[in-house]
């Protein structure tokens, strides 16, 4: 499949939301994020040796996964879904409103939209049909890998505009929420609704490493040193060290 025309579609859709104002930088960050998630998806699929139609559709879904971010910001001036609307849903609506790109069947396009719809669900739908697992899980891993990168850059001080990244979290250096801590140390997915501190977000991201579906995704996270970099941003106390050990031993048991 030729991806160039699809990259052009994404780019022109994103650029149609530029206003000439200072918020344009935020729109361009979402465009760059989409392109990096597309690259990550290609890398995962290549490393896993997956080829063919479903692999192509997984890459397309990765490219288009955040289409909803552009109308979301235009309409609500925020990327916070809780204050606006589920951006995955907005993305599906945007894709539905577009002319179907050439070279795709209606069935292909529905698979792409389905993976876009599922990309930000807290956990994988247990009723997910096996044939749709590849596009959904590849997009989710590829997206998580780039979100962790963006947030680490932010926490390490090389960051992008903070309002685009952290939504009103208290950045008390030593505090984190018990609910999030308990979920992550026990290998469960943290719940955004319990997030109160910036440290909660870092804990949540540690949990994402556990939840990566593909060995090659985990390898990318390890190559980029994500676990150690996240731990370095958390309070250096005995409980966090225990959580780090638990997460690292789960990750290495997948190796």
Q: Which residues bind Fe ion (CB under 5 A)?
A: 66, 120
Cβ atoms < 10 Å from Cβ of 151 = 21
Tell me the sheet residues that pair with 170. Answer: 197
Please report how close the Cβ of residue 208 comes to Fe ion at its closest, in angstroms.
Answer: 13
Q: Which is nearer to Fe ion, 176 or 208 (CB)?
A: 208
Please report how close the Cβ of residue 85 comes to Fe ion at its closest, in angstroms.
Answer: 13
Q: Which is nearer to Fe ion, 120 or 177 (CB)?
A: 120
Q: Which is nearer to Fe ion, 62 or 231 (CB)?
A: 62
Please report how close the Cβ of residue 26 comes to Fe ion at its closest, in angstroms.
Answer: 14
Sorted by sequence, the CB contacts under 8 Å of residue 93 that are 6+ apart come out as 68, 71
Cβ atoms < 10 Å from Cβ of 123 = 9
Q: Is 89 exposed, middle or buried (0-12, 13-18, 19+ CB in 10 A)?
A: middle
Instruction: Please tell me the distance from the alpha carbon of residue 12 to that of residue 205, in angstroms, as a whole number.
Output: 31
Please report how close the Cβ of residue 69 comes to Fe ion at its closest, in angstroms.
Answer: 7
Instruction: Please tell me the distance from the alpha carbon of residue 196 to that of residue 200, in angstroms, as a whole number.
Output: 7
Q: Which is nearer to Fe ion, 165 or 240 (CB)?
A: 165
With H, G, I as helix, E, B as strand and everything else as coil, classify residue 199. Answer: helix
Instruction: Please tell me the distance from the alpha carbon of residue 119 to that of residue 142, in angstroms, as a whole number.
Output: 10
CB-based contact 123:188 (threshold 8 Å)? no
Q: Which is nearer to Fe ion, 103 or 161 (CB)?
A: 161
Please report how close the Cβ of residue 150 comes to Fe ion at its closest, in angstroms.
Answer: 11
Please report how close the Cβ of residue 200 comes to Fe ion at its closest, in angstroms.
Answer: 19
The residue of the chain with the least Cβ separation from Fe ion equals 66
Using CA atoms, how far residue 190 sits from 82, 103, 170, 177, 182, in Å, is 16, 40, 17, 11, 9
Instruction: Please tell me the distance from the alpha carbon of residue 87 to that of residue 81, in angstroms, as a whole number.
Output: 6
Q: Which is nearer to Fe ion, 128 or 150 (CB)?
A: 150
CB-based contact 197:170 (threshold 8 Å)? yes
Q: Which is nearer to Fe ion, 120 or 137 (CB)?
A: 120
Please report how close the Cβ of residue 252 comes to Fe ion at its closest, in angstroms.
Answer: 29
């Amino acid at each position: 499949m030729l991806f160039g025309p699809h990259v052009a579609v994404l780019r022109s859709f994103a650029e149609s939301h530029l206003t000439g104002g200072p918020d344009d930088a935020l729109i361009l960050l979402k465009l760059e994020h989409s392109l990096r998630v597309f690259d990550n998806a290609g890398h995962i699929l290549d490393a896993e040796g997956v080829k063919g139609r479903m692999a192509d559709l997984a890459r397309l879904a990765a490219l288009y996964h955040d289409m909803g971010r552009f109308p979301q910001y235009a309409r609500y001036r925020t990327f916070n879904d809780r204050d606006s609307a589920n951006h995955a849903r907005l993305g599906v609506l945007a894709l539905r409103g577009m002319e179907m790109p050439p070279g795709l069947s209606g069935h292909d396009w529905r698979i792409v939209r389905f993976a876009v719809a599922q990309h930000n669900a807290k956990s994988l739908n247990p009723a997910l049909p096996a044939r749709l697992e590849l596009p959904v899980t590849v997009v989710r891993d590829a997206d998580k890998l780039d979100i962790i990168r963006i947030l680490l850059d932010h926490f390490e001080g090389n960051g992008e505009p903070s309002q685009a990244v952290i939504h009103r979290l208290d950045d008390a250096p030593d505090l984190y929420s018990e609910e999030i801590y308990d979920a992550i140390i026990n290998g469960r997915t943290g719940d955004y609704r319990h997030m109160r501190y910036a440290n909660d977000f870092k804990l949540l991201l540690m949990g994402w490493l556990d939840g990566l579906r593909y060995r090659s995704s985990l390898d990318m996270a390890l190559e980029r040193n994500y676990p150690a970099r996240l731990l370095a941003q958390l309070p250096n106390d005995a409980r966090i060290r225990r959580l780090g050990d638990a997460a690292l031993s789960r990750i290495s048991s997948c190796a």
